[in-house]
Amino acid sequence: MTSSAEPSTDGLRGLLTDVLRFSLHDGPGIRTTVFFKGCPLRCVWCHNPETQSPRPELDYHAERCVRCGECLRACGAEADGSGFVRERCADLDAAAAACTHDGLSLTGREWSVAEVMDEVRKDAAYYVASGGGITLSGGEPLLQADFATALLSAARAEKLHTCVESCGHVASERLESILPLVDLLLFDWKMTDSAQHRELTGVGNELIRASLAMAASQVPVVLRCPLIPGINDNGAHLAGIVDLASQILVQRIEIMPYHAAGSAKYARYGRGYSLPEIAVSDESRTRWMQALQAAPCPVTIAD
């Protein structure tokens, strides 16, 4: 029962792409990661393109499609010979349900706080044994600040370790309001130069820098730095990471090497992927680690 001191979350819904149990890379220990749908950035290397739009989308596997046209008929669109045209679909749920060949599925559905917590509780014993808990990721969780706050509050009420991953490009009041509920903030730092940051993500980094300074003064922060050979791993950016960590107290710097695992998703969501084929060499990893040795905090590199 909800106490009079706690607002009811019965009508509150969050648009999510997944609730992933047994996650090992989104904070300490074994975790359940909640992926929010919607992001204010459009990073050219994004490996979760399905989290970018704040609306439900169709995940289309062309290799499974038999061009039967059932999806178009179900959603009220007229076939034009191609068998499936996502832009013309008026009812995404109906289109996905009509596909009998696993060619279509709907990405993004509304969850209640109770539904998410039901999933989270399934691994409670692992959290205790490993020091894990719940992580809000995305996308950008703070674009759905009310739902994120309610979910963090529910987790805290059950004494779970809470972690949030954020790009920082959010209103300062949204970020500040959730910090009392956060045990660890995973903060993405993508490019030191603001003009280059805009070219690579669609926005400058002034608000992001301000968000980081404010957050790091209140909660432990891990600075997550995606590094993509030939794109953002230049000497100026690496030096900028060291300078930033020297100015703002962060617990650790985590290098996130580029991987192309998400590139195949773009076509499934009707988007193009602009990066060429990129490989991360051992030499690149060594160079990054050496360049960041001057940072006043530990530096690790993700697998």
Mind listing the pLDDT tens digit for each residue in 111-161? 999 999 999 999 999 999 999 999 999 999 999 999 999 999 999 999 999
Contact 117, 124 (CB under 8 A): no
CATH of 13-54+108-301, one of 3.40.50.720, 3.30.379.10, 3.20.20.70, 3.65.10.10: 3.20.20.70
Which region holds residue 274: left if phi is over 0, alpha if psi is between -120 and 50, else beta? Answer: alpha
Please tell me what DSSP assigns to residue 192: S
Phi, psi of 173 (to 5 degrees): -70, -30
Contact 241, 81 (CB under 8 A): no
**139 upstream amide cis, omega within 30 of 0:** yes
Read off the pLDDT of residues 200-216 as tens digits, 9 standing for 90 and up.
Answer: 999 999 999 999 999 99
> What are the sequence ranges of the domains in the chain?
13-54+108-301, 57-107
Confidence of residue 89 (pLDDT cuts 50, 70, 90): confident
pTM of model > 0.85? yes
Nearest CA among 49, 48, 45 for reference residue 280 = 45
Helix (H, G, I), strand (E, B) or coil at 109: strand
pLDDT for position 118: 98
